[in-house]
Structure 1
Amino acid sequence: MITVDRVESTQDWNEFKAVTDLVYQGDPYRLPDEPMDLDRILISPPVAIASIRDIAAFLARENGVVVGRVVAIHDTSFTQYTGESIGFFGFYEAVDDQEVATGLLDAAAAWLVGRGLGAMSGPFGPSMFYSAGIVVDDEPALPLVGMPHNPLYYAAHFEKWGLVGIKDFYSYLFDDPCVIYNRPEYARHMQIFEKVKARSEVTFRSMKYRTVRRDARIVRDLYNKTFVNFWGFSPLSFVELLELLKMMLPVLDRRLTLLAELDGKPVGFLMGIPDVNQAAAKAAHLKSRWLRDLVTLWHVKKPSRTDVIDGVRVDMLFVDPDCPDRAVSSLLIMELSVRMRDLGFTRVEAAPVLDDSPWMKGSVLTRMEQTPHRTYRIYNRDLELPRP
């Protein structure tokens, strides 16, 4: 018999975290630790974040054994900004049993309906800025750092319950970080870039650890100005961005976090994240969490790290739409690719890339006639609100 109950106690949260041990048993690409710090994101988030996002977590049990989990999310800042009656779900994990899936999604939907929300979208973890969607490819692979990894049957769980795919986004893999520019057919393209760079007044600087709060505000302002008309946008708060940066700082290489400036004013941002999952996979056999973290961090920081970590995830490309220099996005990509090459990285994966991204997909990837390496999908279903 399947029962679904709301998470209430510390023991419940411990069982919530342990669901992945059951779901991913036997998965050769599964990493033993959650990609997100659930304590800081869900259980005890900063007050400023908790004040704009209400959640309800649920556990599914079969004969007393936990077999699934889900979180219903009401992002009040999104509701206030967009005026849309949409709730979200995320952190979904479940065994391959449609009865379990239905029970979990029913519980999440009922909670959202109780808050007057007329649709449910997801999965988000807990918002689009952190992690979104599920993998829907048929080729299992080691997950890219910060991107979803899940059993392929999740899509069937969602669709049988009535969720419909509403947005796909992609990752694009290149075996050489300079492949965009050094293919023979793009020699002319590279020459143009070099000429543009020579006459451009745009300069680049790396984010600094000691000024991370100031730089976080700069990135926040650029993000909110750039993506205001994008699908699913709601303003990003300084506190939320700072929390994410704090979680990422141990694995970031500041040389790969680029701010573009024109006349001393920030006009663009691009970040490359060393694919720490490659190092985490090397430490996955260790029993102790702290020892896994220590070994992973050692691989990230050691001088010969590219022996283990040869890849970089390219993320967060955005440019001030009012910037008079229209080549900033291309210059950022070229500058980052040169830095990755000089640091010894030999592969790069750009993700997430939306259909309507004018820089990552429109101005660069489509010119390369590159096909997506992985596809991720976000789902939605309208909910029936009680009649007044």
Structure 2
Amino acid sequence: MADQLRLIEVLTPKQRQAFVELQFTIYADDPDWRAPLKSEMRELIDGAKTNPWFEHAEAAFWMVYRGDTAVGRISAQVDQLVLQYMGAGTGHWGMFECIDDQAVADLLLSTAENWLRARGMTRAQGPFSLSIWDEPGVMVAGFGTPPTVMMAHHRSWYSKLIEARGYVGIKDMHTWEVQITHPFPDTVQRIVAMGEKNPRIRIREVVKKDFANEAALILDILNDAWSTNWGFVPLTPHEVAHVGKKLKPIVYEDMIRIAELDGVPVAFMISLPDLNELMGDLNGKLFPFGWAKLLWRLRKPKVNRIRVPLMGVRKSLQGTRMASMVAFVLIEYIRRAARDVYGAKRGEIGWILEDNGPMRSIAEVIGAEITRTYRVYEKPLSAEVH
């Protein structure tokens, strides 16, 4: 019953730890869930000292208990960059985890909505956990397989609970998967061959020792390449430095490549071995022994899948034949390294916005198929609090 529910705002370190731990309860019987590192989750929500996103945004966090048992959690956030790039009055919520109980979901969502409304927001969008660059959307299709590294996984009832609160889906994002043990179709191979012979094009590996500068270069291209995409907000210089520092331990130089045209960097592709395959037995903990295990496994990882989380071509080049050539050469070089060095058999590209025609076309041409769908929801916020 709803009157048995108890809502608390997450304010103390102990409460933040409980907020993180709830996921491990919600997914305890889900064989496809992959536990995140608890330390990473704490850093995400602990404020500006561990997450520079808080330099331009504010957030609040809540948990719902039934008796002494935690049964749900949520965040609400107002991001000044979202207001600038996605429109005035746009508030977000996220970090949503909930048992299959509409009363719990209603209490969580209404609390987030009221918080947003009190800050002048006129519409609520979610989930964003915490931003478009973290884990956007709730999984609505593709259940039955585990996610790759840095991709979200949700319980199948979440969309039902959200929609019952009056939310309507406004944008879908897909992950695409392709086999990479064999060459791509002949059409792609011909384009790659032309690109390899073109003296104007140079594809280079990143330099891990200089990864702070490499990350800044890549994310400068990214901010330009994605600037017209739905949901885009730029990464700030502090966020760029933060991302570079976090990625460096899992950087493999042959899996992250930069394309130069006439000596000018114009495109990039980041790919990662599926580290979820290497962390399944750590249960989110690096200590006392998880850190040593992970470091050993990261030395020369062998995985079944790789993931391409980010790829971009500068806007000035988009829509040209040269852009397609550069993109396919990047993809082919990553495919070879993933197969030959890391033993991967499958590659996942994503997420890709449902209306991102150029990226969808690339995925289709190389034979990729949609495997998962994530949905962002929206609801107008009326003036009254309820």
Q: TM-score, normalised by structure 1?
A: 0.90
- Aligned counterparts, 1:162-181, within 5 A: 162-176=166-180, 178-179=182-183, 181=184
Answering whether residue 29 of structure 2 is matched by residue 26 of structure 1, we say yes
Q: Find the counterpart in structure 2 of residue 316 from structure 1.
A: 310
Matched residue of 1:378: which SS?
A: strand
Taking structure 1 as reference, are residues 229 and 71 closer, same or farther at Cα in structure 2, changes over 3 Å only? Answer: same
Distance 1:276 1:35 in 2: 15
Q: Find the counterpart in structure 1 of residue 66 from structure 2.
A: 62
Contact 1:178/1:338, CA 8 A, preserved across alignment: no
Matched residue of 2:72: which SS?
A: strand
What's the CA shift string for 1:149-177, capped at 9, x where partnerless?
11111111111111111111111112325
User: What is the Cα deviation at residue 368 of structure 1?
Assistant: 4.8
User: What residue identity is the alignment partner of 2:139?
Assistant: V
Q: Find the counterpart in structure 2 of residue 375 from structure 1.
A: 373
Answering whether residue 354 of structure 2 is matched by residue 350 of structure 1, we say no
User: What residue identity is the alignment partner of 2:379?
Assistant: R
Contact 1:3/1:103, CA 8 A, preserved across alignment: no
Q: Find the counterpart in structure 2 of residue 160 from structure 1.
A: 164
Unaligned runs of 5+ in 1: none
Distance 2:41 2:345 in 1: 32
Q: Find the counterpart in structure 2 of residue 17 from structure 1.
A: 20
User: What is the Cα deviation at residue 92 of structure 1?
Assistant: 0.9
Alignment root-mean-square deviation, CA: 2.2
Contact 1:178/1:337, CA 8 A, preserved across alignment: no
Distance 1:164 1:34 in 2: 32
Distance 1:199 1:124 in 2: 42
The answer to which of 246-255 and 54-63 deviates more is: 246-255
The answer to which of 265-274 and 61-70 deviates more is: 61-70
Q: Find the counterpart in structure 2 of residue 131 from structure 1.
A: 135
- Aligned counterparts, 1:108-119, within 5 A: 108-119=112-123
Q: Find the counterpart in structure 2 of residue 234 from structure 1.
A: 233
User: What residue identity is the alignment partner of 2:9?
Assistant: R
Q: Find the counterpart in structure 1 of residue 6 from structure 2.
A: 3
The answer to which of 40-49 and 136-145 deviates more is: 40-49
Taking structure 1 as reference, are residues 50 and 153 closer, same or farther at Cα in structure 2, changes over 3 Å only? Answer: same
Answering whether residue 304 of structure 2 is matched by residue 300 of structure 1, we say no
Distance 1:240 1:248 in 2: 12
User: What residue identity is the alignment partner of 2:307?
Assistant: R
User: What residue identity is the alignment partner of 1:241?
Assistant: V
The answer to which of 128-137 and 79-88 deviates more is: 79-88
User: What residue identity is the alignment partner of 1:25?
Assistant: A
User: What is the Cα deviation at residue 218 of structure 1?
Assistant: 1.3
User: What is the Cα deviation at residue 73 of structure 1?
Assistant: 1.0
Contact 1:251/1:297, CA 8 A, preserved across alignment: no
User: What is the Cα deviation at residue 198 of structure 1?
Assistant: 0.8
Taking structure 1 as reference, are residues 171 and 153 closer, same or farther at Cα in structure 2, changes over 3 Å only? Answer: same
Percent of aligned pairs with the same amino acid:
25
What's the CA shift string for 1:102-135, capped at 9, x where partnerless?
1011111110101101111111121111221122
What's the CA shift string for 1:31-73, capped at 9, x where partnerless?
3444781332211334853220100001111123221111101
Q: Find the counterpart in structure 2 of residue 210 from structure 1.
A: 209
Taking structure 1 as reference, are residues 347 and 35 closer, same or farther at Cα in structure 2, changes over 3 Å only? Answer: farther
Answering whether residue 220 of structure 2 is matched by residue 221 of structure 1, we say yes
What's the CA shift string for 1:238-290, capped at 9, x where partnerless?
22132223223222312111111122211001011110001112444x98744
Answering whether residue 70 of structure 2 is matched by residue 38 of structure 1, we say no
Contact 2:204/2:258, CA 8 A, preserved across alignment: yes
User: What is the Cα deviation at residue 200 of structure 1?
Assistant: 4.5
User: What residue identity is the alignment partner of 2:170?
Assistant: I
Distance 1:30 1:322 in 2: 40
Q: Find the counterpart in structure 2 of residue 89 from structure 1.
A: 93
Matched residue of 2:229: which SS?
A: coil
Answering whether residue 79 of structure 2 is matched by residue 79 of structure 1, we say no
Distance 1:49 1:217 in 2: 16
User: What residue identity is the alignment partner of 1:213?
Assistant: A
User: What residue identity is the alignment partner of 2:348?
Assistant: E
Distance 2:127 2:240 in 1: 20
Contact 2:216/2:244, CA 8 A, preserved across alignment: no
Contact 2:48/2:54, CA 8 A, preserved across alignment: yes
User: What residue identity is the alignment partner of 1:110?
Assistant: N
Matched residue of 2:251: which SS?
A: coil
Distance 1:88 1:94 in 2: 17
Contact 1:177/1:340, CA 8 A, preserved across alignment: no
Distance 2:261 2:351 in 1: 27
Taking structure 1 as reference, are residues 361 and 287 closer, same or farther at Cα in structure 2, changes over 3 Å only? Answer: closer
- Aligned counterparts, 1:261-276, within 5 A: 261-276=260-275
Distance 2:305 2:217 in 1: 27
